[in-house]
C-alpha cells in the first residue's frame, strides 16, 4: 500500500508536463510489455473427437458391466485413502 502511495506521489508532478507524462507512459507500456513476454505460456492439448468417443464408449461399457454385476466400483472414500488424499 505504501508503495502505491509513493508511486502516485511521484507521478503527480508529471501530470502538468505533457512531454514528461508521455515519456512516463511509454516507459510504463514497456514494463507491461516485458511482463507479458515473461509470462509463461500454457499449452492445452485437446483430445480428438475419436478419442473422446472412445472414452465415452469405455465409460458406458463399464457402467453397463457394473449394472450387470460383472464389475464392482471402488468407493470414492477408498480411492482417496489409496492415494492418501483424504
Q: What is the pLDDT of residue 45?
A: 81
Maximum Cα–Cα distance across the chain? 80
The domains of the chain are located at 2-38, 49-82
Model pLDDT for residues 1-48, shown as the tens digit of each residue = 688 888 888 888 888 888 888 888 888 888 888 877 776 777 778 888
Contact 36, 28 (CB under 8 A): no
Amino acid at each position: 500500500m505504501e508503495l502505491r502511495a509513493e508511486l502516485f506521489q511521484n507521478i503527480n508532478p508529471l501530470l502538468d508536463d505533457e512531454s514528461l507524462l508521455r515519456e512516463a507512459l511509454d516507459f510504463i507500456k514497456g514494463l507491461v510489455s516485458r511482463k507479458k513476454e515473461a509470462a509463461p505460456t500454457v499449452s492445452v492439448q485437446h483430445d480428438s473427437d475419436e478419442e473422446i468417443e472412445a472414452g465415452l464408449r469405455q465409460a458406458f461399457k463399464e457402467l453397463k458391466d457394473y449394472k450387470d454385476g460383472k464389475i464392482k466400483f471402488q468407493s470414492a472414500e477408498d480411492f482417496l485413502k489409496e492415494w492418501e488424499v483424504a
